[in-house]
Amino acid sequence: MFQKMLIDGKLVGKDSKKKRIKVINPSTEKTFAFVPKGTKKHINQAVAAAKKAFPAWAATSQKKRQDIVNKMADVVADNAEMLARLMVKEQGKPMPEAMGEMAWTEGYLRHYATLSAKGRMIQNDDDFKIETRRVPLGVVAGICPWNFPVLVPFWKIGPALVAGNTIVVKPAPSTPVTILKILELCNKFVPAGVINAVTDENDLGPLLTDHPDVAKVSFTGSSETGKKIMAAAAGTVKRVTLELGGNDPAIVMPDVDVKATAAQIYGGAFLNAGQVCLAIKRLYVHEKIYDEMCDELVKLAKGAIVGDGLQQGSTIGPIANAEQFKKVKALLKRAKKDGKVLTGGVVKSKKGYFIKPVIVRDVKDGDDIVDKEQFGPILPVIKFKDIAKVGKAANASDYGLGASVWGKDVKKATRVAEKLQSGSVWVNQALNIGPHIPMAGCKASGLGVEQSTEGLEEYTQIQVLNIAR
């Protein structure tokens, strides 16, 4: 399979050995598709096409822009199973999760199609009419990760288009196929140049962030890369929205129903094999229920069916790519020295980047497995005694994306939650996100807002219209 790029309404790229990128199936470690190896020329062409298309798109009625986004949702819905199968082959997640990502993508797009960025009247009297307007920025660059290769690009495409911008999307090199296929199908009704997509080997990002005709960069990925994007964007004072890494703490109070809470925590930690920015990545459990919670988590982990995402019944797929597999294995090796691995580990009996869900106990703050974002199916469980101190430990991280507190006494749990330094804090739940809920990281976890009306406004410039009577 060879999936081309999209530039100015045309499918672009030659299928030659020197000009293509291999896309590896992480369940088999075999090549299942190819995409073009984009160049500086392709980036310049894509930005030029988006710049050319911008005036007409910005002048298009809000209703028509919303209709186009709704049609994109139709494409995802009408082709969900075919697209989900492609995603499993390039990213690895089990088919039910891939189908879930398609449903989420459709839902997000439909919600974006109901939004509009509105100004407000400040003064309207005999002397002045002063109002704010929300106007589009121009060309947006959307740089996307590999863990949610369809949902996250449309988190950028949807609001960018509704607000009146045009966009150049750069998918992750290991997971470009599904999003390119969707954009190919959408190309029948999206005006040329409004959406463009260029594939690379992680070498073209600086060309987008430096480009003088790019007005905004929306990036989802590591904090290290986010810092580089901020620095690069400074030269042209670009707008940036950064959704970066997380090391999300979950604090479990001693009054919980251990079995029920363990099941929810397991789901919040091991979705997509733990490859979720907002996943629970360090679990603080009160000493009174520590052993019982570890035992329940071990039962759940041992019940996981690890395998190819296309195999019936698989609940945990592989790590999405070889580079991340290597990182997770290194952290797991260190965790075995710092704590006690109760269950799980690397699957050595077959091809693929498989790791059985790992539960590690008797670790502490300062250990790599606690302090670093593992981004894989490993959950460190830390014992605590003092509720005041555990809040400080949770806040000691450089990250601040998500956090959760679990307790039967909701008021008490909420008081703990309110003191956590995190963009999203859940009480007795995890990963409850939606297109109507703002999502924002603090500290090293990001800058700006995604989702909701607040996220839409990030794709606009506020303009004050001040008229003397």
Residue 176 included in any domain: yes
Asked if residue 126 has pLDDT above 90, the reply is yes
Residue 432 included in any domain: no
Query: Do 200 and 233 lie in a common domain?
Result: yes
Closest by Cα among 10, 84, 17 to 45: 10
Q: How confident is the model at residue 18 (pLDDT cuts 50, 70, 90)?
A: confident
Average pLDDT over residues 133-144: 97
Q: Catalytic annotation on 294?
A: no
Q: Catalytic annotation on 144?
A: no
List the beta bridge partners of residue 24. Answer: 31
Query: Do 412 and 452 lie in a common domain?
Result: no
Q: So what's the pLDDT on residue 17?
A: 80
Query: Do 43 and 89 lie in a common domain?
Result: yes
Average pLDDT over residues 393-416: 97
Query: Do 267 and 416 lie in a common domain?
Result: yes
Rounded alpha-carbon distances, angstroms, from residue 370 to 4, 285, 374: 41, 13, 8
Contacting residues for 454 by C-beta, under 8 A, at least 6 apart? 438, 440
List the beta bridge partners of residue 466. Answer: 130
Domain containing residue 193: CATH number? 3.40.605.10
Asked if residue 6 has pLDDT above 90, the reply is yes
Question: How would you classify residue 451: left for phi > 0, otherwise alpha for psi between -120 and 50, otherwise beta?
Answer: left
pLDDT in tens, 210-232: 999 999 999 999 999 999 999 99
Identify residue 466 by its one-letter amino acid code.
N
Task: Kindly name the residue from 243, 296, 373, 450 that is annotated as catalytic.
Answer: 243
Q: So what's the pLDDT on residue 420?
A: 97
Closest by Cα among 65, 179, 110, 136 to 434: 110
Rounded alpha-carbon distances, angstroms, from residue 263 to 62, 107, 142, 270, 339: 44, 26, 35, 11, 23
Average pLDDT over residues 408-432: 97
Average pLDDT over residues 136-165: 98
Q: So what's the pLDDT on residue 370?
A: 97
Residue 433 included in any domain: no
Provide, rounded to the nearest whole percent, the portion of the chain with pLDDT above 90.
97
Residue 373 included in any domain: yes
pLDDT in tens, 443-466: 999 999 999 999 999 999 999 999
Query: How many Cβ atoms sit within 10 Å of the Cβ of residue 122?
Result: 13
Query: Do 275 and 230 lie in a common domain?
Result: no
pLDDT in tens, 66-119: 999 999 999 999 999 999 999 999 999 999 999 999 999 999 999 999 999 999
Task: Write down the pTM of the prediction.
Answer: 0.95
pLDDT in tens, 23-74: 999 999 999 999 999 999 999 999 999 999 999 999 999 999 999 999 999 9
Q: So what's the pLDDT on residue 15?
A: 83
Structural domain of 377: 248-427
Q: So what's the pLDDT on residue 418?
A: 97
Residue 434 included in any domain: no
69's enclosing H/E stretch is: helix 62-78
pLDDT in tens, 284-320: 999 999 999 999 999 999 999 999 999 999 999 999 9
What distance in Å separates the CA atoms of residue 140 and residue 138, rounded to the nearest whole number? 6
Indicate the number of domains in the chain. Answer: 2
Closest by Cα among 373, 76, 108 to 221: 373
Contacting residues for 88 by C-beta, under 8 A, at least 6 apart? 27, 94, 95, 98, 308, 309, 310, 317
23's enclosing H/E stretch is: strand 20-25
Asked if residue 16 has pLDDT above 90, the reply is no
Query: Do 240 and 262 lie in a common domain?
Result: no
Query: Do 99 and 185 lie in a common domain?
Result: yes
Residue 438 included in any domain: no
List the beta bridge partners of residue 239. Answer: 216
Strands (E), 97-238: 121-124, 128-136, 139-143, 166-170, 195-197, 216-220
CA-based torsion, 368, 274, 149, 237: positive or negative: negative
Domain containing residue 343: CATH number? 3.40.309.10
Q: Is 160 helix (H, G, I), strand (E, B) or coil?
A: helix
Query: Do 230 and 206 lie in a common domain?
Result: yes
Asked if residue 14 has pLDDT above 90, the reply is no
Task: Kindly name the residue from 144, 186, 277, 294 that is annotated as catalytic.
Answer: 277
CA-based torsion, 310, 312, 314, 315: positive or negative: positive
Residue 436 included in any domain: no
Q: Is 391 helix (H, G, I), strand (E, B) or coil?
A: helix
pLDDT in tens, 337-350: 999 999 999 998 88
Query: Do 345 and 384 lie in a common domain?
Result: yes
Query: Do 82 and 205 lie in a common domain?
Result: yes
Query: Do 304 and 408 lie in a common domain?
Result: yes
Mean of per-residue pLDDT scores for the chain? 96
Query: Do 160 and 173 lie in a common domain?
Result: yes
